[in-house]
Amino acid sequence: MQLYNKLSAKEREALLEEAGEDRLTISFYQYAKIGNPELFRNHLFVAWDQLDVLGRIYVAHEGINAQLSVPAKKFNDFKEFLDGIYFLKDIRLNIAIEQDLKSFLKLKVKVRSKILADGLNDKSFDVTKKGEHVNAEKFNELISDPNTILVDMRNHYESEIGHFQGAITPDVDTFRDSLDIIEEDLQEHKEDKNLVMYCTGGIRCEKASAYYKHKGFKNVFQLEGGIIEYTRQVKEKELENKFIGKNFVFDHRRAERISDDVIAQCHQCGKSCDVHVNCANEACHLLFIQCKECAAKMDNCCSDNCKEINALPYEEQKALRKGKKNSNKIFKKGRSEVLKFKQ
């Protein structure tokens, strides 16, 4: 029984290109009590591997958080499998606005202590007492109300390329960083204002809304299904779109364009641009915004030093990387000192 990937990303990419079949990028989450996450993880991997599902899935005692790429022709089989799991029956699936054959290149199902790294002690408050879920229409009404405070629960590199008009966008690197900052900044409005939150697909707001209610906020709302579902409803119901720019996503696409507005700048020259890339130097791999002109000038690298390293023969690059860790650079996500315009 196969429980892990046997193909590399490059091998999988070649197979996807050869097949040329339509695929759907989908995300969903569900908080539920899972007694044996490892057993559940293996069950998912075996079933989804047979359906040619690819993606990144986290399983924990508290539930599941999934981002997937499913062959379009096998969607009904995929849905039938989910419906066979009692806590996933009729689960809302966030289907991407923009599709890509290669949004994911491997099937990774991992057991984690939590499905979302929130840094919270769940035993200290009732996670089931969440804020009120609102659809796109209600959300638009709420954020038009002067008595509403709208908060983006995502990180700085996400909101930088797109956000709702008038939203507070905390300058944070992680979700856990934003929780206390937002509470402190909004202390005086716990009882007299509507606290409305949104994120990519809804999972961050699910926990944050319960946390803020525990902290004394009286009127807490969250956008159901996040930006992804909001965009779908706006198109389907012909509502006014109040999101400007791109929605950052955590797969190979990196973002979906929601409006034609470009609200960010190239981190190297300052030109209007909202295209995230990873530095071509594998020892760096920094995520940052780069325009076409800078990409050509810098050979897709973030700095002159990385450009020089990337020009070396592969074996020399590999030798330079030996024994070194680059995780700190990777997770800086646009904050590196080498990005002159960002400074």
- Condensed to tens digits (0 to 9), the pLDDT of residues 33-75 reads 999 999 999 999 999 999 999 999 999 999 999 999 999 999 9
Residue 145 has pLDDT above 70, yes or no: yes
Q: Closest Cα to residue 41, out of 62, 25, 64?
A: 64
Contact indicator for 149, 168 with CB cutoff of 8 Å: yes
Strand bridging mode 219-223 / 243-248: unpaired
**pLDDT(217) > 50:** yes
341 pLDDT band, cuts 50/70/90, is confident
User: Does the pLDDT at position 328 exceed 50?
Assistant: no
For residue 22 the two structure tokens come to 């339509």
Q: What is the pLDDT of residue 122?
A: 82
Q: Where do runs of H (alpha helix) occur along the chain?
A: 9-19, 37-50, 75-83, 136-143, 156-159, 175-185, 203-214, 226-237, 292-297, 304-310, 314-321, 327-330
3-state secondary structure of 74: helix
Strand boundaries in 112-172, DSSP class E: 132-134, 148-152, 162-164
Q: How wide is the angle at C-alpha 62 spanned by C-alphas 56 and 63, nearest 5°?
A: 40
Spot the catalytic one: 199, 291, 301, 302.
199
pLDDT tens profile 81-130 = 999 999 999 999 999 988 888 899 999 999 999 999 888 888 888 888 89
Please give the domain boundaries of the chain with CATH numbers for all domains: 9-111 (3.30.70.100), 122-236 (3.40.250.10)
Q: What is the pTM of this model?
A: 0.89
Contacts of 217 (CB under 8 A, 6+ apart): 186, 190, 195
Active site residue 199: yes
